[in-house]
Chain A
């Protein structure tokens, strides 16, 4: 009895096999096109207009008939069309809006496509997802850049006005020196001008991330150098050990000034202006290592983000100081790192190439 059913069972099996093979082929094709779209988007730098301009040859492979889109890109309206004429055909329409960007997309599929329609639908959804992602990335990058510019503007405005005020007062003071008070005026100027020079240097360094003001080399004995640098911020300090390093341009100043200013700011912000900074200098295998920590100081809120550009725990901070310091140290063949053991204060480690030994 069963033998009579064999031909039918074989036929059914072959039919199922053929259907599965056809579906597998369609799925593989759709999957390849999906992956190709994702790669194209990556190659375009997630730039929506560039991606859209190049995606049709891939979509065309899936037998989609045509595509039309209306793009509103930061106030500029444009219309584009590829493939067959869409008028009077069945189309899938999607609209995506993110901030000042909007796109209306119409994609035309063939009539009566059966199972192929499902694969084409997933392809269209992939395309829409990529477009939406590109727009979100663009919006996020634009917001972040504008925010950074705004902070930089605030920073510059505040510092420049202080410097202008300083120059105004200095000019006023020099114009009206009463006889017999010349020495006092000189004393005030001796106190104030290094402070304003230091501030101006900081501004210049902030604005020249990655660039060195000059390339002159100098040998620096670290213990007296760090003692002086702490003095600028009136930071109490204990220094152990000594070593000398060679610094090109203002690289060393950039690194240590940023670190010390952070300690100064944190101390002031947390009401602990009397923080005592423990500095240890050691030399090993031709490398000089300086560790800085402030026992009893406040804990860093997010040590893993300390070197992230434009991130700051200080509400008025630009967030590029430590990032800049790290970049500078690495450009000089050094290293800037941070460690925080459980319950211990944050420890900054600066590593710098030691002085070359004479041959």
Chain B
């Protein structure tokens, strides 16, 4: 990962998006823009260099509540993307912060926020990305798992962690089953078993 990752701005207000893009570009970041979830996901798939997403929770078609923003964050997390998501929102702060944390956002900023604070969050996210990249080279993969003590208990948690780890390793190795098996310390046949078990397909 380079020192300055590319940034994706997901914001439905064109004025605000333009202003924030201007500030980020003046700080020498490469910025991409999306006004809704589908465009954001397309850009993230097409441009792996995007390391940081600044996400507004109030997106169309539900610009006045957090549901679409949360759905966007969930979709990003579901695709096991390595990018860090910074939530910048003017929605109900308590509910938005809770959802952001629950769904694995890297940081949460409430509007209105100074550019210094936004840049601080970007710098922290950049540092995390760099360090995770270094750890990855050492064979350490960081996964995020939301654990809820319920009937499944440890068993459910283990299955969730196992699935995320397998998905992430496959993604990192470009779906190279041999390399993935080697990193996970299992046989190649086991990788096929996991892929079948978790319904992982090559073109994901």
| A contacts, CB < 8 Å to B | 151, 154-155, 157-158, 161-162, 164-170, 172-173, 178, 181, 184-185, 188-189, 191-193, 195-196, 198-199, 265, 268-269, 271, 314-316
Q: Are B58 and A158 in contact (CB under 8 A)?
A: yes
CB within 8 Å of A: which B1-33 residues: 13-16, 18-23, 25-26
Please pick, from A161, A166, A265, the residue contacting B19 in the complex, using a CB distance under 8 A.
A166
Give the docked Cα–Cα distance between A185 and B27 (Å): 12
The residue on B at minimum CB distance from A198 is B15
Nearest CB in chain B: distance from A350 CB, A: 25
Residues of B within 8 A of A (CB): 13-16, 18-23, 25-26, 35-36, 38, 58, 60-65, 88, 90-91, 111-116
In the assembled complex, the Cα of A265 lies from the Cα of B61 at a distance in Å of 8
Q: Closest Cβ of chain A: how far from B123's Cβ, in Å? A: 16
CB distance from B117 to the nearest CB of A (A): 10
Q: What 9 new A-B contacts, CB under 8 Å, besides A165-B113, A265-B60, A316-B64?
A: A155-B64, A158-B90, A162-B90, A166-B16, A167-B112, A170-B19, A172-B114, A315-B61, A316-B65
- On whether the beta carbons of A314 and B115 are closer than 8 Å, the reply is no
Is B62 touching A315 in the complex (CB atoms < 8 A)?
yes
A296 and B114 alpha carbons, distance in the complex (Å): 43
**CB atoms of A157 and B90 under 8 A apart:** yes
A314 touching B61, Cβ below 8 Å: yes
Whether B60 and A165, one on each chain, are in contact in the complex, defined by CB atoms closer than 8 angstroms, is: no
Bound state CA distance, A193 and B22, in angstroms?
12
Q: How far is the CB of A166 from chain B (nearest CB, A)?
A: 5
Q: Are A168 and B64 in contact (CB under 8 A)?
A: no
Give Cα A178 to B27, complex, Å: 10
- Which residue, of B18, B23, B35, B62, has the highest number of chain A Cβ atoms within 10 A? B18
When the two chains form their complex, are residues B61 and A192 in contact, meaning their CB atoms are under 8 A apart? no
- Chain A min CB distance to B109 (Å): 10
